[in-house]
Amino acid sequence: MKLDLPFIRTQFPAFTEPALQGWAFFENAGGSYPCIQFIDKLTAFYMKNKVQPYYPYPASMKAGEMMDNSYKRMAEYLNADASEIHFGPSTTQNVYVLANAMRPMWKDGDEIIVSCQDHEANAGAWRRLAERGSKIVEWHVDKDSGLLSQEDLDRLFSERTRMVAFPHCSNVIGHVNPVKEISEKAHALGALCVVDGVAYAPHGLPDLKALGADIYLFSLYKTFGPHLGMMYVKNELIKKMENQSHFFKEGITRSMLTPAGPDHAQIGSVSGILDYFDAVYAHHFTEEALPSQRNIALNRLFRSQEKALLEPLLEFLRSRDDLKILGPDYADQRVPTISILPRNKSVKKVYTDLTNHRLRLGMGNFYAVRPLMDMGIPLEPGVLRMSFLHYTSMEDIDQLITGLKTAL
């Protein structure tokens, strides 16, 4: 099965926006284009249902139904229960709340293993618990490859390990970590796993039951929807946490980890992402399937498209001796988020030249300061990052390679 790219691109208004024509988009890791289904739902909510939800009059009842539907359908796609799904302002905010909610579960001196491959969202809040008696154990990356070693992790575990925090994949290294294997190791020792899936989920939503993580987080504005953070927390775990909301919310699990309260309109429009996935599935497949099964099929479809584009790009990058690729240089080991360091020209010079070729990509540290520090890479100006998704075309890749040939 091959992805019907023309169909896919009709689902994203950005591809027909005149101001964006001629520009190839390679900063998807910073935020994807929104799909039309999400845009339509958000617009409809603001026009018809922007009232307090759950009151017994039509506009309010509909608002509540839209919100409930988003929890339900996201859970179905992720192979989870709706009560385990939580939407907060961002992944950074969600982790900050989690750290405060979980600290009372542990004794002074209990250990938290925190990877140095993470975006600061899944790093800083845990490390701050050292000020409150927790012991932080650093899981460093290899200084040359940027990868995390499972052997290193084995040596870090102790009888006082209570949690391991790490990314499904890094937003600058791109290597996919074995979440299931790490979760099984942690659970065998009585420890929890908190996984930052922000850089992974845009390439295919995870099957959470198969992964086995206790907490899994990603950002919906990087998966074609609103600026919200999605937080999955196992039901048996949230009941052990300290309430972070109003005192009268104690025991109401959907409220305990969202002290800011729900953004009604954005939550109500989240199901638009699943409408998009359903439309893609119906266009490519004829078999009836549960949402979690559709998700697995779409994962394969999206990854096949991304790999077909990633391979020629990596082949070109491998052929150059004037740059360093961060992370694996083969497509089956990573997602299509590729960071490079030019050897002969400054990062800023190459970035400027690429922009002149109408290429939109990223430059900086992308809040992934700890892996760059471990690898001895200056945080300023950082690295050049190229990231794409299943809606990217071969013509976009050709434009990027042409620009790189000139800029490097």
Whichever domain contains 163, its CATH number is 3.40.640.10
Separation of alpha carbons 407 and 55, rounded Å: 59
CA distances from residue 12 to 7, 43, 58, 317, 340 in whole angstroms, order as listed: 10, 15, 31, 29, 28
- pLDDT for residue 1: 87
For residue 324, give both structure tokens.
Answer: 């360093």
- pLDDT for residue 319: 97
Identify whether residues 228 and 369 lie together within a single domain.
no
Residue 137 within a domain: yes
Identify whether residues 103 and 21 lie together within a single domain.
no
Residue 304 within a domain: yes
Per the structure, the complete domain to which residue 255 belongs is given by 41-273
Helices (H) and strands (E) in the chain, counts: 16, 12
- pLDDT for residue 194: 98
Residue 284 within a domain: no
- pLDDT for residue 333: 87
- pLDDT for residue 40: 98
- Select from 211, 242, 273 the last residue of a domain: 273
Which CATH number is 20's domain given?
Answer: 3.90.1150.10
Residue 278 within a domain: no
- Select from 209, 239, 273 the last residue of a domain: 273
pLDDT digits (tens), the chain, 408 positions: 899 999 999 999 999 999 999 999 999 999 999 999 999 999 999 999 999 999 999 999 999 999 999 999 999 999 999 999 999 999 999 999 999 999 999 999 999 999 999 999 999 999 999 999 999 999 999 999 999 999 999 999 999 999 999 999 999 999 999 999 999 999 999 999 999 999 999 999 999 999 999 999 999 999 999 999 999 999 999 999 999 999 999 998 999 999 988 999 999 999 999 999 999 999 999 999 999 999 999 999 999 999 999 999 999 999 999 999 999 999 998 999 999 999 999 999 999 999 999 999 999 999 999 999 999 999 999 999 999 999 999 999 999 999 999 999
For residue 153, give both structure tokens.
Answer: 């992790």
Residue 146 within a domain: yes
How many other CB atoms are found less than 10 A from the CB of residue 49?
Answer: 21
In contact, 353 and 365? CB cutoff 8 Å: no
Identify whether residues 179 and 49 lie together within a single domain.
yes
Identify whether residues 29 and 86 lie together within a single domain.
no
- pLDDT for residue 260: 87
Separation of alpha carbons 185 and 179, rounded Å: 10
Identify whether residues 253 and 109 lie together within a single domain.
yes
